């Protein structure tokens, strides 16, 4: 049977529906006029979206998450790019150990990391610091950037670099005008994955945030323990919309097939 036959296409369609159905239900519940988590059977309402924007704590938490994710993803990219280039291009003692060290946060449960970082920050006396919160998020999202940049750097054609070097290009010029544009899809894809994972991180953040640095996922978790109403669905719908817009913009600029695969 052909790989793209009717049976295979039906299976893929069912998988997509299975994955997207919960998101669709959440978005529908966000428009309910009722006070409970029910589908809008009597018309649609924006009351819960208005309720979100009337809550200063949610607005502040969203701003904290946005700034935190942007800074952490950018720092992770600055760390991952030179690390990936060094790992793919040079042979040196401890190369494998260095690669494993950079990727290790992705296999350690965030609950364990959260407890460990809480203890570390307590010893340093920096509990609740936004700077150290950035450090914690950078630590756990760097592997996402590194994996995609490794794929891009390992698959690029270095003959272009050699040609630029033969024409007298210096190291900085070579990196800025040749190497970076060639691995940019992987860099952009890694930054995007890092941003999304930082923005959505809740397990680790619960341990290392304070009331002043509380992120949106933590604020949602705390609110859900106090009251369950459709406002949580409205916040979730807004986050889903933000993610979708980001993916669309990235697709327009680079193309998702290039970005997520990390090839050029």
Domain 56-261 has CATH 1.10.3720.10: yes
Amino acid 141: pLDDT: 93
pLDDT, average across residues 162-186: 77
Q: pLDDT tens for residues 61-76?
A: 999 999 999 999 999 9
pLDDT at position 67, please? Answer: 95
Distance CA 232, CA 100 (A): 38
Tens digit of each residue's pLDDT (9 = 90 or more) over 124-154 = 888 888 999 999 999 999 999 998 888 888 7
Whether residue 263 is predicted with pLDDT greater than 50 in this model: the reply is no
What would the mean pLDDT of 207-222 be, rounded to a whole number?
A: 90
Residue 261 pLDDT greater than 60, yes or no: no
Prediction pTM value: 0.83
Stretch 98-123: mean pLDDT = 88
Q: pLDDT tier at 254 (50, 70, 90 boundaries)? A: low
Q: Is the pLDDT of residue 232 over 90?
A: no
Angle at 258 between CA 9 and CA 72, to 5 degrees: 115
Q: pLDDT (tens digit, 9 = 90+) per residue, 16-54?
A: 888 888 888 888 888 988 887 788 877 888 889 999 899
């Amino acid at each position: 049977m052909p790989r793209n036959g009717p049976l295979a296409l039906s299976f893929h369609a069912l998988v997509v529906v299975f994955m997207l159905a919960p998101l669709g239900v959440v978005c529908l519940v966000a428009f309910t006029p009722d006070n409970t988590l029910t589908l809008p059977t009597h018309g649609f309402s924006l009351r819960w979206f208005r309720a979100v924007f009337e809550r200063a704590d949610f607005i502040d938490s969203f701003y904290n998450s946005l700034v935190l994710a942007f800074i952490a993803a950018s720092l992770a990219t600055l760390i991952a790019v030179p690390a990936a280039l060094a790992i793919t291009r040079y042979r040196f003692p401890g190369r494998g150990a260095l690669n494993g060290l950079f990727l290790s946060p992705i296999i350690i449960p965030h609950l364990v990391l959260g407890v460990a970082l809480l203890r570390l920050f307590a010893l340093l006396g920096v509990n609740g610091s936004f700077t150290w919160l950035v450090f914690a998020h950078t630590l756990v999202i760097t592997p996402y950037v590194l994996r995609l940049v490794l794929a891009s750097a390992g698959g690029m054609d270095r003959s272009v670099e050699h040609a630029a070097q033969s024409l007298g290009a210096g190291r900085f010029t070579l990196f800025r005008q040749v190497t970076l544009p060639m691995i940019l899809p992987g860099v952009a894809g890694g930054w995007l994955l890092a941003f999304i994972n930082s923005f959505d991180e809740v397990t680790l953040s619960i341990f290392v945030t304070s009331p002043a640095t509380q992120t949106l996922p933590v604020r949602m978790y705390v609110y859900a323990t106090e009251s369950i109403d459709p406002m949580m669905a409205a916040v979730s719908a807004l986050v889903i919309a933000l993610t979708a817009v980001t993916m669309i913009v990235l697709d327009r600029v680079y193309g998702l097939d290039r970005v997520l695969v990390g090839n050029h």
